[in-house]
């Protein structure tokens, strides 16, 4: 029996989820990643003895991401419940604050869910996925940029052109944001109208390890006026050896209304007014003026099977799914794989 040759462009959550599902379903899988490491935007940065994720990441209890981790037999990294009951709304009720946290959108509906802080940080979850993918025979190529696509006479994908080679394939998952995905599809003279309509939301963010508890007794705040969302993700496994959850804070803040200096200033002003003395407690601090939070607005999301007749499926948070954030990435990745393997 000839195994289907599947290529996945993008080694973030959506790409890894697609690769694992393709391998489970019997395909020979190659993941093309433009960076030196996998994990996309959730990959952690070196913070010494602290485990300080880049950005505000919580896992949804019983969501697609947690379910996948359980299937990969990774119970040790699933973590403990985050205390959402102590998330306080400023200028709004606490339910509104929980809804915004669950979707990271100001136009959130009623989506509040129970959240979990992953043991060992977000990278521990990514590492479990990478290990599982390799055990299933998935191959990876790094620092490789997909430049274009080639179709056969039946208008189905037959190869991906990279900066290093031409990689033949029988099917393809594009697990990358709308703009680079559209560029690849345009190279094969395919229409990209829906992807072109996607509008990025970029925000400012601040992550800090603090030797104190300036938010006590709360686990976080959401300020309706400024759009600032800030939470404490401190857990014993994320702190230095002598650190205590009762004495340290792992602060993650984002300005949902603005990016750049305006967004960072909004975060700092809110912290100054609600987390007195936080500046004097900083052990590690990381400021990001502009980072992509969402690749599209909710009403701009596209159907993952848009190019299925070309044996191409789309994956990522810009793809239609009942879920949000990391759950949307995992769900769309797995569904993209199943779409291709079931044809």
* Structure tokens that stand for 316 in this block: 């990522």
Give the span between the Cα atoms of 157 and 153, in whole angstroms.
9
Give the span between the Cα atoms of 342 and 4, in whole angstroms.
12
Give the span between the Cα atoms of 114 and 20, in whole angstroms.
26
Give the span between the Cα atoms of 252 and 208, in whole angstroms.
7
Q: Is the pLDDT of residue 217 over 70?
A: yes
Burial of 311 (0-12, 13-18, 19+ CB in 10 A): buried
Is there a cis peptide before residue 217, judged by omega within 30 degrees of 0? yes
For residues 221 and 229, the answer to whether their CB atoms sit within 8 Å is yes
CA distance to 67, 78, 211, 294, 334, per residue, from 324 (Å): 15, 18, 32, 10, 15
pLDDT band at 41 (very low <50, low <70, confident <90, very high): low
Ordered structural domains, the chain, with CATH? 1-79+121-198+298-343 (3.50.50.60), 80-117+201-294 (3.30.519)
pLDDT band at 173 (very low <50, low <70, confident <90, very high): very high
pLDDT tens-digit readout, 116-162: 777 666 777 888 899 999 999 999 999 999 999 999 999 999 999 99
User: Which segment of 91-95, 190-194, 244-248, 303-307 scores lowest on mean pLDDT?
Assistant: 244-248
Give the span between the Cα atoms of 115 and 95, in whole angstroms.
14
In total, the chain counts a number of residues equal to 343
For residues 31 and 191, the answer to whether their CB atoms sit within 8 Å is no
State the average pLDDT over residues 104-108.
85
Give the span between the Cα atoms of 248 and 246, in whole angstroms.
6
Whether pTM exceeds 0.75:
yes
């Amino acid at each position: 029996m000839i195994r289907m040759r599947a290529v996945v462009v993008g080694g973030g959550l959506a790409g890894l989820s697609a690769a694992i599902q393709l391998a489970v379903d019997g395909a020979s899988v190659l993941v093309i990643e433009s960076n030196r490491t996998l994990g996309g935007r959730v990959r952690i940065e070196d913070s010494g003895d602290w485990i300080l994720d880049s950005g505000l990441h919580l896992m949804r209890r019983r969501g697609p991401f947690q379910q996948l981790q359980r299937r990969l037999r990774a119970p040790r990294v699933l973590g403990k419940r985050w205390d959402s009951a102590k998330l306080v709304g400023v200028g709004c009720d606490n339910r509104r604050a929980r809804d915004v946290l669950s979707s990271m959108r100001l136009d959130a509906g009623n989506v509040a869910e129970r959240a979990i802080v992953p043991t060992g940080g977000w990278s521990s979850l990514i590492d479990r996925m990478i290990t599982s993918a390799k055990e299933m025979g998935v191959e990876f190529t790094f620092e490789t940029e997909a430049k274009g696509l080639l179709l056969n006479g039946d208008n189905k994908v037959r190869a991906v052109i990279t900066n290093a080679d031409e990689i033949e394939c029988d099917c393809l998952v594009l697990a990358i944001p709308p703009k680079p995905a559209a560029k690849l599809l345009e190279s094969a003279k395919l229409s990209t109208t829906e992807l072109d309509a996607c509008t990025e939301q970029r925000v400012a963010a601040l992550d800090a390890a603090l030797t104190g508890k300036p938010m006590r007794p709360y686990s976080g705040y959401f300020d309706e006026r400024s759009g600032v969302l800030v939470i404490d993700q401190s857990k014993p496994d994320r702190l230095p050896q002598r650190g205590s959850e009762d004495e340290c804070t792992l602060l993650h803040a984002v300005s949902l209304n603005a990016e750049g200096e305006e967004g960072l200033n909004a975060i700092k002003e809110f912290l100054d007014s609600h987390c007195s003395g936080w500046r004097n407690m900083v052990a590690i601090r990381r400021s990001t003026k502009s980072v992509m939070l969402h690749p599209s607005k909710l009403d701009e999301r596209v159907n993952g099977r848009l190019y299925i007749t070309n044996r191409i499926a789309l994956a990522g948070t810009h793809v239609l799914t009942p879920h949000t954030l990391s759950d949307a990435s995992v769900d769309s990745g797995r569904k993209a794989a199943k779409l291709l393997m079931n044809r």
